[in-house]
């Protein structure tokens, strides 16, 4: 190792695991020399971007020589109307990933403690570790958050608790009643991050947004994204909902112009594309039902989901399944990175994609 890096770089970076995203389509094309590829690894919306968002981008192209509105004024006004929350309480980021990092920079000091489920979204650990915080992992119970164990892990050093609802990679959720009980018990000086990246897909009436806790003056940040349900992953735009005081503190560490103009206009348009929203919900519902039926017929165990992905046990080495599916032009996510060596996570796709995935998986599992 370079002596300068070894001696001068922050020690925390040597404890970080590099984030490995779902394999890009272009990379598979280069490596395997095949063109007919479907990606069902990163929970992107298989319908593509909202038509209204595409049109909004086209109208804004002539202004890309001008810096974006650093305050995202028009987008916040639109979101304020839709979500019924004041603009001053809205944080807009270059993806919710950036907001997680900014929240960590705002609140975490060395040796503070944070708590999250295991497995869950890896960026909680990454952003906390880089600030020198101690990460407390609490194993899932039957693939779900174990709120009793999370509460038992709280100490005087606990600064942040992360709850991914629905959880990634399992698709399980925290119901309103159990979350209410947890929120009543947790000390008021702990910040609760409710990551609702997939909540738009949820169809179980017991799953409610944590936005209501803001009206109760709880120290909460609700995170959401336009990358999943709204099909704008390439534009990198996410948002946080909190109280104005917390929002002002986090904005202190914002980079100027962190959200580009095209992302802002696209996100505002996506919120009002009712036909796209309706089609997305229908496609996901039908896709889940088809995949459930096929998994049942194949005798595979899976976790019922409130998101647009399914965590399924193939009964075989997940890495081998991944490689064989890859050669057939189907990209999925392996469960070994989450501690489940025979599981895979597959995004719910279009009818054609789902059928191709099932046909390919049957071939792979037959050997």
> What is the pLDDT at residue 17?
76
The reported pTM is 0.95
> What is the pLDDT at residue 14?
79
Task: Give the residue from 157, 179, 180, 171 showing the smallest Cα distance to 347.
Answer: 171
Looking at beta carbons, which pairs linking 320-323 to residues 24 or more positions away fall under 8 Å? Answer: 321/361, 321/364, 321/365
> What is the pLDDT at residue 140?
98
> What is the pLDDT at residue 6?
75
Contact 219, 232 (CB under 8 A): no
218: left (phi over 0), alpha (psi -120 to 50) or beta: beta
What is the rounded distance in angstroms from the CA atom of residue 150 to the CA atom of residue 10? 30
Q: How many residues does the chain have?
A: 367
Q: Cite the beta strand spans of the chain per DSSP E.
A: 38-39, 90-93, 113-118, 134-139, 158-164, 191-195, 220-225, 238-241, 302-303, 309-313, 330-331, 333-334, 343-347
pLDDT along the chain (367 residues), means of 10: 77 75 81 90 97 98 97 97 96 97 97 98 96 97 98 98 98 98 97 98 97 94 98 98 97 96 98 98 98 98 98 98 96 96 98 98 95
Token pair in block for residue 17: 């695991």
Domains delineated in the chain: 20-48+275-366 (3.90.1150.10), 51-271 (3.40.640.10)
Q: What is the DSSP string of 182-221?
A: HHHHS-TTSEEEEE-TTGGG---TT---TTHHHHTT-SEE
> What is the pLDDT at residue 33?
85
What is the rounded distance in angstroms from the CA atom of residue 43 to the CA atom of residue 39? 9
Please give the helix or strand (H or E) that residue 26 lies within, else none: helix 25-32
Find the farthest-apart pair of alpha carbons in the chain and give their distance in angstroms, rounded. Answer: 58
For β-strands 309-313 and 343-347, DSSP reports them as: antiparallel
What is the rounded distance in angstroms from the CA atom of residue 95 to the CA atom of residue 101? 10
> What is the pLDDT at residue 10?
81
């Amino acid at each position: 190792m370079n002596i300068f890096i070894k001696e001068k770089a922050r020690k925390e970076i040597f404890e970080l695991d590099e984030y490995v995203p779902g394999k890009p389509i272009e990379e598979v094309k280069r490596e395997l020399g095949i063109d007919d590829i479907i990606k069902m690894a990163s929970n992107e919306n298989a319908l593509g971007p909202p038509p209204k968002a595409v049109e909004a981008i086209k109208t804004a192209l002539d202004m890309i020589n001008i810096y974006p509105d650093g305050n995202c004024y028009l987008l916040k006004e639109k979101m304020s109307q839709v979500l019924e929350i004041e603009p001053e309480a809205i944080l807009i980021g270059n993806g919710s990933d950036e907001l997680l990092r900014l929240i960590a920079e705002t609140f975490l000091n060395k040796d503070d403690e944070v708590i999250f489920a295991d497995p869950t979204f890896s960026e909680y650990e990454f952003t906390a570790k880089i600030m020198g915080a101690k990460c407390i992992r609490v194993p899932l119970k039957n693939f779900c958050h174990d709120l009793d164990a999370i509460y038992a892990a709280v100490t005087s050093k606990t600064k942040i608790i992360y709850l991914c609802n629905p959880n990634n990679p399992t698709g399980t959720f925290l119901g309103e009643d159990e979350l209410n009980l947890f929120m009543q018990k947790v000390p008021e000086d702990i910040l609760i991050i409710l990551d609702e990246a997939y909540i738009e897909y949820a169809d179980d009436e017991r799953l409610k947004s944590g936005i209501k806790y803001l009206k109760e003056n709880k120290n909460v940040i609700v995170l959401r994204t336009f990358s999943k349900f709204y099909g704008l992953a390439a534009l990198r735009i996410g948002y946080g909902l909190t109280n104005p005081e917390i929002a002002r503190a986090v904005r202190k560490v914002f980079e100027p112009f962190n959200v580009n103009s095209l992302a802002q206009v696209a996100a505002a348009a996506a919120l009002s594309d009712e036909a796209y929203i309706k089609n997305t919900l229908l496609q996901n519902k039908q896709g889940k039902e088809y995949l459930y039926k096929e998994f049942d017929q194949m005798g595979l165990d899976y976790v019922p989901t409130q998101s647009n992905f399914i965590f399924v046990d193939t009964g075989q080495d997940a890495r081998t399944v991944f490689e064989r599916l890859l050669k057939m032009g189907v990209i999925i996510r392996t469960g070994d990175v989450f501690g489940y060596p025979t599981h895979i996570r597959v995004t719910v796709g279009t009818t054609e994609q789902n059928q191709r995935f099932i046909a390919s998986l049957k071939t792979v599992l037959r050997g």
